[in-house]
Structure 1
Amino acid sequence: MWLVLCDPSDRAAVWAYEGLRERGLEPLELLSPQTLLDSSRSAHRIDRHGAGFELVLPDGRVLASRDVDGALNRVAAAPFGFLPFSTHADAVYAAQELHALLLSLLTCLAPVSVNRSGGYGLCGAWRSTPEWTALAARAGLPVAPVRLSSSPNVGPPPEPPVRGDVLVLGEQVFGAPVTEDREPYVRLARLAGVSLLGVDLRHPEGRPPVFAGATLLPDLRPGGDAFLDHLHKRLLDHPAESSGAP
């Protein structure tokens, strides 16, 4: 079976789920992180041969990690707002525990996931703007200077980037037309250790576009049918991802 894991409000993920179903990917399940955590019974085993889980979902169905052939992982955070807390300390503790549990479950699916979970994020490592800019420069993308200061409101505010100009999935690039060399975008995703990445571009007047940011949760819809076709193929092939290479 295949999974699309996402927050219920993630319209791009729902769009991808519907597109994958239209392409005949079955059985395919759309699951939220809260559904995983709301299991009525769970078994989570870790031994020298690896890790796996078996969950009884709220509707009574059994989900076992061994039965998952591929997953689109769009889980950004563990939900915990539905739990009652008497103090802030209790809320922080519960959030950390739920995050750890969800991370452990997603790690069991990491070998067949787009994108894989890790210690710095549930669907890939989250990075600051300076970190992304440094990776983009290493990848060969034109970047704008980044100003760092310990004082607030120093310098002019940055221009708002256009979200999701370019989509990278594996070795393919989708989204807005990219007239220049596409390899730096693929190289950036590879350096970030993810197979799916959204790259934002800023378009200075009269000059070529420059890197403006990256996201692990891009809007997938600008990729259109070509993106869905490639995602479908990738999930069928379920390539195991290794750290640093998609």
Structure 2
Amino acid sequence: MWLVLCDPADRAAGWAYEGLRARGLAPLEQLSPQTLLGSTRTAHRVDRLGARFELSLPDGRVLDSRDVDGVLNRVASAPFGYLPFTTHADAVYAAEELSALLRSLLTCLAPVSVNPPCRYGLCGAWRSTAEWTALAIRAGLPVPPARISSSPDPEPRRPPAGRGDVLVLGEHVFGAPTTEDEEPYVRLARLAELDLLGVDLHCEDGQPAVFAGASPLPDLRPGGDPFLDRLLEHLTALSAGAP
């Protein structure tokens, strides 16, 4: 089976789910992190053979990670809003435990996931503006002048959802200006260690577009049908390449 893992409010993920269904990808499930963590029964095993899990879905079916062929991972953070604790210390402890469990469950699916979890994010690394700009320069993208302050930016609570002016999926690029070389966008995704990357551009007064940011959680809809066609191919190829 194939999965789209996302927050219930993620409209871009819902659009991708419907598009994949229309293209015949089945069985296909759209699940939220709330469902993964709120299962009435969860069995999570880590041993010398690897890691795997089984959990009961709301309709009574059992989801076994070994039966998953491919995953579009759009999980940005673990859901903590429902935690029924009266003290801040208890809530923080429970949140950390749930986040660790969710990361471990997602790691079980990492070999067949688009944007698997990593040390710095559940669907790819969170990066500051300066870090993304440095990677963009290494990739060969034009960037605006940098402004550096001695005051650190506060850490974001979750990765920002980029506009996705340009989408990169594997070696394929969607939305790049027709006059530009697409290879720098692919290089940026490789440097960021992401299968799927959204790159935001800024244009002003008829000047060439410059790099304005990037996100592992972009809006997918600007890619249209060509993006969905490629996403279908990408997902169905994941299980073939999994160990």
Shared fold (TM-score, shorter chain, > 0.5):
yes
Q: Is the alpha carbon distance of 1:48 and 1:240 closer, same or farther for their aligned partners in structure 2, counting shifts above 3 Å?
A: farther
Aligned ranges 1:161-200 → 2 under 5 Å: 163-175=163-175, 177-200=177-200
CA deviations 1:26-48 (Å, max 9, x no partner) are 00000000001111111111122
Q: Is the alpha carbon distance of 1:11 and 1:140 closer, same or farther for their aligned partners in structure 2, counting shifts above 3 Å?
A: same
Answer yes or no: is the 8 Å Cα contact 1:71–1:235 preserved in 2: yes
CA deviations 1:132-165 (Å, max 9, x no partner) are 0000100000111221213599xxxxxxxx8221
Segment of structure 1 superposing worse, 174-183 or 143-152: 143-152
CA deviations 1:80-103 (Å, max 9, x no partner) are 101122122222222211110000
What secondary structure does 2:66 align onto?
helix
Answer yes or no: is the 8 Å Cα contact 1:116–1:241 preserved in 2: no
Answer yes or no: is the 8 Å Cα contact 2:69–2:239 preserved in 1: no
Distance 2:88 2:146 in 1: 35
What secondary structure does 1:82 align onto?
coil
After TM superposition, the score normalised by the length of structure 2 is 0.92
Corresponding position of 2:41: 41
Answer yes or no: is the 8 Å Cα contact 1:110–1:241 preserved in 2: no
Distance 1:241 1:33 in 2: 26
Distance 1:131 1:82 in 2: 33
What secondary structure does 1:29 align onto?
strand
Segment of structure 1 superposing worse, 45-54 or 99-108: 45-54
CA deviations 1:171-213 (Å, max 9, x no partner) are 0011353421000000000110010000001112232111010
What is the aligned length?
234
Segment of structure 1 superposing worse, 86-95 or 73-82: 86-95
After TM superposition, the score normalised by the length of structure 1 is 0.90
What is the RMSD of the two structures over their aligned residues, measured on CA atoms? 1.9
Residue 109 of structure 2 is aligned to residue 131 of structure 1 = no
Gap runs ≥5 in structure 1: 154-161
Corresponding position of 2:64: 64
Answer yes or no: is the 8 Å Cα contact 2:176–2:182 preserved in 1: no
CA deviations 1:99-128 (Å, max 9, x no partner) are 100000000000000011111100011100
Aligned ranges 1:183-222 → 2 under 5 Å: 183-222=183-222
Answer yes or no: is the 8 Å Cα contact 1:112–1:240 preserved in 2: no
Q: Is the alpha carbon distance of 1:239 and 1:204 closer, same or farther for their aligned partners in structure 2, counting shifts above 3 Å?
A: farther
Distance 1:67 1:116 in 2: 17
Distance 2:15 2:226 in 1: 14
